[in-house]
Chain A
Amino acid sequence: MSFFSALIVAVLFSVGVYLLLQRTLSRIILGLALMGHSANLLLMVVGGRAGKAPIVGAFGPEDTVADPLPQALALTAIVISFGVISFLLAIAYRSWVLTQNDEVEDDVEDARIAQLGEAEMRRWWSRPR
C-alpha cells in the first residue's frame, strides 16, 4: 500500500487529537470529525490496493478490483460518524443555550476530590516519622 495514504491517515488523526485536547467544545467536535475521516480512510487503505469499482460488468476478468468489503464497512462508518457528530453538535448547542459558554470547564466534583486528595497527600508527607 502506498506510503502517501498512510501519511494522510496519520496527519488527519494527529490534527484530530490536537483539536480533541482543546477546551473549546466546537474544536473538540471538529477534532472528532477529523479522527472519523482518518479512521474511514484507514479502513480503505488497510483493505487492499486501489482498483476498478466493484460493480459487476464494470470490470473485466483481468482487472484488479477494489475490495468491496472494507468499502461496505467504511460506508457504515461514515454514516455512523455523521450521526455521532450531529448528536454532539446538538449537545454543544444546548450547552451554549444554557450557559452561553463554549468552554469545557473542569469538573467541580472531581476538583473537590482532588483538593481533598492533595490535602491528604500533604498531611501524609508532613507527618512526623
Chain B
Amino acid sequence: MFVLILAFGCVAAVLPALAARIGRGVFYVAAAVPAAAFIWGVGAYGQIADSGPLIEQAAWVPQLGLTLGLRFDGFAFLMLSLVAGIGVLVFIYAGSYFHAEPIIGRFAATLLLFSGSMVGLVLADNLLALFLFWELTSITSYLLISIEDEKTAARSGAMQALLITGMGGLAMLGGFVLLGEAAGTYSMAELLARPPSGAVVNVALVLVLIGAFTKSAQVPFHSWLPRAMNAPTPVSSYLHSATMVTAGVYLVARFTPAFADYSLWRPLVISFGLASMLIGAYRSLRQHDLKLLLAYGTISQLGLMMLLFGVGTKESIFAGCTLLLAHGIFKAALFMLVGIIDHQSKTRDLRKLDRLGAQWPVVAAAAGVVAASMAGIPPLFGFIAKEEALGALGETGFAWGVPVLIGVVIGSSFTVAYSARFVWGAFGPRPVSMIPHQGSVRNEAVGQQVPKPSKMFLAPVVVLAALTLLFGLFPSLIDPVIARAYASLVGVRAEDHLALWPGFTQALALSAVAIGAGFALFWWRLRVEKLQDSMPKVASAQRGYDRTVKGLLEGADAVTGFVQHGSLPIYLGVILLTMIVLPGVPLLSDGVMPDLWFADSPMQVVVGFIMIVCACAAAVARRRFAAVLLVGAVGYGMAALFVIQGAPDLAITQLLIETLGVGVFVLAFRHLPADFVRPKFRRSQGAQIAIALLAGVFVFLFTLFAIGARTEPSISGEYLDKAYSEAGGNNVVNVIVVDFRGFDTMGEIVVLAVAALGVAALVRAKRSPAEVEP
C-alpha cells in the first residue's frame, strides 16, 4: 500500500517535464496510476474477503512511538474505487478538456498528487497519518482551484477553501490528539474497537466534527464550495463533488458506529446534515450558472449523507454507503457534462442555453440518465440509494425520526426540482429562469451551431451514466461491495440487500411524493423564483466569511497600531516590564534567600558608595561631558571593586578599557552641543523612573536569589590544579582565557574586529549630500 501511495507522488514528479514533450497526452499517462490503484484494489478486495483487512505498518517517528499504519477493509475499498475509478475517468476527460495550455503539466501533476493523497486518506489507519493526508488534499485542492492564477476569483476562491478547510483541519487535529491520548492509541481501528469515554471525548468529537463539516461543506461552513467552482471543471468533478468533499462524510462514517450513542453526536450531525440538505437544495433552485447549481446540489447531497451516517442505525449506515457510491457516480458525470457544455458553447448560463438537446442527443440522453439518478427516479442507482435512505429513516425508532424524515422528503423534492432545472436549462428550450441579467450581459440564445464534443470527451460521462443505469437495473452486481463496506464499518454482516423493487413500502410512497412535488416545483418554477425573491434576505455564509476575514485584518491593523507605536522608549519600556514581570513572579515564589552579610570589606562600602553617587549624578547631569566623566568614574570604581574581590586581571583590564572608553566618548561627542536637549514630555518621566526603580528592585532580588541558587561547588578547582601543570601558567584567569577557553577568546577577538571595521566605516564615511538635503 505504501508503494501504491508513493507511486502517485513519483509519477506526479515527472509529469511536468513530460508535458513539455507530449502535451495533453500527459493526462493519459497520469490516468494509468489511478487505474493501477483500482486494479490493485480489486485484487486486494478478493484477499480481504478471505482473510480480513490488510494491514501495513511502518515506523514513522519511532522516538515518539508514531507508526504509520495503513489498513484496507471493505469501506476503504468502496472509497478507493470511487477515488481511483473516477480518477481514471477524470484524467481521460481532462485530456479533451484542455488543449495545449502551458499549465497542463502542473495541473496533471497536482491532480495526481491529490489523487494519491486521497488514496492515502482512505487507507490511513493512524489518526495522525489521516490528518496528514487530509491536509494534503486541502493543499492540493488549493493549488488546483487557483491553477489559473491570473484569475482573481480563482485565487480568492482557493484561499477561501484553504482557510475554511484548514481551520477545520486544525480543529480536527486537536480532536484526534484528545481522542488518541484518551484511548492510548492513535490507531483508528483500535480506537473504534474500544472507544474511550469521559467529558474530554465529547469535546474531541465536536472538534473532529468541525473538521468533517468544513471539509464536506456543511452549512454554515459551505461557502467555500461554490467559490471553488472557479476551478477548471475536471477539478470540480473530481475533488468538489465525488471525492474530497466526501472525506468529512468518510470520517463520520468511520466514527459513527463507535460514537453514535455519545450525547452530542446525533444532535450535531443530524441537525447540520439536515440543514445543509435543505439550504443547499433551496439555494440550488435559484442558480442560473449550471456549475453553481450543481455545487449547491452537492452541499445538499453531502448533508443527506452526513445525516444518514450520523443517525448511526444499521439501516442508515447501509443507506449511507449506497448513497456515497451513487452520488460519486452521478455527480462526477454531471460536472463533466457542465464542463463539456462550457467548453463547447463558452457559457454555462441556463438562461442562454437554448435547445442544445436537439443537436446533441447522446449528451442529452446521458445527462437525462445521470440527473434522473440524482433525482432518485427509477430504475437508476440513485433511486435505490434514496429508497434505502427513506426506508432507513422511516424505521429509526427515535422520537425525532418523523420530523427528520419529513425534512428529507422536502429536500428530496427540491433535489428533483433542481435536477429537472439542470436538464431543462441545459438542453431544453428557454425560458427556464427569469432571474435578471446583471450588467452588460445580454440575454442572447446560445444553442445553434455549437460544435459537437469529441467521442473521447464524452466517453467518461457515458461510462458513468451506464454504470448508474447498470447498478440500478442489476443492484445485485454492487450489493456485495456495499455489504462488505457496511460490514467493515459496523462489524456484522449486512442483513439488507439492494433491490430495485422492494415492494409497496412507505419509502416507495415517500419517493413518489418527493418526485411529484419536485416536478410540481419545476413546473411552477417561475413562481417559485418569485417566491424566493420575496423572501427576506437572511445572513449568507459568504458574507459571514467576508466579514470574518475583514474583521481579522482590521483587528490585526488595530492591534499593530496599538502595540507598534513607533516610540523607542515605549518599546523598551514594554520589553523591560516583560523582563521584570515574567521571571519576577516565579522568582518571588520559588527563590531561595542566601546567608547575607553587609559587605566584604570597609573599602567595598566606600567605593560602592562613591559609584552609586556618581551613577545617580550621571542620570541627572545636564551637561554631556559631565555625564561621560561620571560614568567613567563608575568604571574606575568597578576596577577598585575587582581589586577587593581578588581579581587583579579584571581590575587592570577595566582600568585600560575605561580610559580608552572615556577617550572614545569624548571623540564622539566633541561636536555635539554641550548640554543635553531638555526632554519634551515631562509627564513620561514618572513612568521612566518607575520602570527604572522596578528594574533595580528586580535585579537586586535576582542577584540575591542567584547567589542562593548555588547547589554545587565551583568547577574551577580543576583549573587551579592544572593551570601550571598542563598550561604552564601561574595566572589561572589568563590561562583560562588564552588556553582552556581559547575558542571563546577567539570569538571575542572576532567581535572586536567586526566592531572596529564598523566604527572605521561609519567614522570615515563622507557626508552624503543627498541624505542631508532636507
**B is bound to A:** yes
Give how many A residues have a beta carbon under 8 Å from the other chain's beta carbons. Answer: 96
A114 adjacent to B671 (CB under 8 Å): no
A21-B688, A114-B564 given; A46·B707 CB < 8 A: yes
CA of A20 to CA of B748, assembled, Å = 25
In the complex, chain A residues 1-26 whose Cβ is within 8 Å of any chain B Cβ? 1-15, 17-24, 26
* B631: Cβ under 8 A from any A Cβ: yes
Chain A 35-71 per-residue mask, 1 if CB under 8 angstroms from chain B, else 0:
0011011101111111111111110000001111101
Which residues on A sit within 8 Å (CB–CB) of B661? 33, 82, 85-86
Contact for B755 among A84, A102, A106, CB less than 8 A? A84
* B90: Cβ under 8 A from any A Cβ: no
Residue of A nearest to B707 (CB): A1
Contact for A13 among B568, B645, B699, B765, CB less than 8 A? B699
CA of A117 to CA of B433, assembled, Å = 46
Chain B 607-624 per-residue mask, 1 if CB under 8 angstroms from chain A, else 0:
010011001101100001
Give how many B residues have a beta carbon under 8 Å from the other chain's beta carbons. Answer: 112
A110 adjacent to B730 (CB under 8 Å): no
Which residues on B sit within 8 Å (CB–CB) of A84? 755
Which residues on A sit within 8 Å (CB–CB) of B628? 30
B737 adjacent to A76 (CB under 8 Å): yes
A13-B695, A71-B647 given; A121·B561 CB < 8 A: yes
B745 adjacent to A1 (CB under 8 Å): no
Give chain B nearest CB distance to A86 CB in angstroms: 5
Which residues on A sit within 8 Å (CB–CB) of B573? 21
In the complex, chain A residues 71-86 whose Cβ is within 8 Å of any chain B Cβ? 71-72, 74-76, 78-80, 82-86
Chain B 720-743 per-residue mask, 1 if CB under 8 angstroms from chain A, else 0:
100110000111110011000100
A47-B714, A120-B558 given; A14·B611 CB < 8 A: no
* B763: Cβ under 8 A from any A Cβ: yes
A17 adjacent to B696 (CB under 8 Å): yes
Residue of B nearest to A99 (CB): B772
Give chain B nearest CB distance to A53 CB in angstroms: 5
B697 adjacent to A113 (CB under 8 Å): no
B703 adjacent to A10 (CB under 8 Å): yes
A34-B634, A40-B638, A54-B720 given; A18·B688 CB < 8 A: yes
Residue of B nearest to A69 (CB): B716
The secondary structure that dominates the B interface is helix
Residue of A nearest to B644 (CB): A50
* B604: Cβ under 8 A from any A Cβ: yes
Chain B 375-401 per-residue mask, 1 if CB under 8 angstroms from chain A, else 0:
000000000000000000000000000
A67 adjacent to B638 (CB under 8 Å): no
Contact for B646 among A14, A53, A56, A72, CB less than 8 A? A53
CA of A124 to CA of B334, assembled, Å = 45
A115 adjacent to B561 (CB under 8 Å): yes
Chain B 595-612 per-residue mask, 1 if CB under 8 angstroms from chain A, else 0:
011111100110010011
In the complex, chain B residues 645-685 whose Cβ is within 8 Å of any chain A Cβ? 645-650, 653-654, 657, 660-661, 664-665, 667-669, 671-673, 676-677, 679-680
A68 adjacent to B736 (CB under 8 Å): yes
Give chain B nearest CB distance to A124 CB in angstroms: 6
Give chain A nearest CB distance to B592 CB in angstroms: 13
Contact for B566 among A15, A56, A99, A106, CB less than 8 A? A106
- In the complex, given contacts A5-B703, A15-B619, what are 12 additional A-B residue pairs having Cβ atoms less than 8 angstroms apart? A2-B597, A3-B598, A34-B615, A56-B720, A58-B730, A79-B653, A83-B756, A90-B759, A93-B763, A94-B763, A110-B565, A118-B562
- Could you write out 22 A-B pairs with CB less than 8 Å apart? A2-B597, A2-B598, A6-B704, A8-B608, A14-B693, A17-B692, A18-B692, A20-B572, A30-B618, A41-B641, A46-B703, A47-B714, A55-B732, A65-B720, A74-B650, A75-B649, A76-B737, A85-B664, A89-B665, A90-B759, A113-B561, A123-B554
Write the residues of chain A forming the contact surface with B, with a CB cutoff of 8 angstroms.
1-15, 17-24, 26-27, 30, 33-34, 37-38, 40-42, 44-58, 65-69, 71-72, 74-76, 78-80, 82-87, 89-94, 96-99, 102-104, 106-111, 113-118, 120-121, 123-124
Closest 9 A-B residue pairs measured CB to CB?
Answer: A117-B561, A14-B696, A110-B566, A66-B646, A10-B700, A18-B692, A83-B755, A72-B736, A4-B599
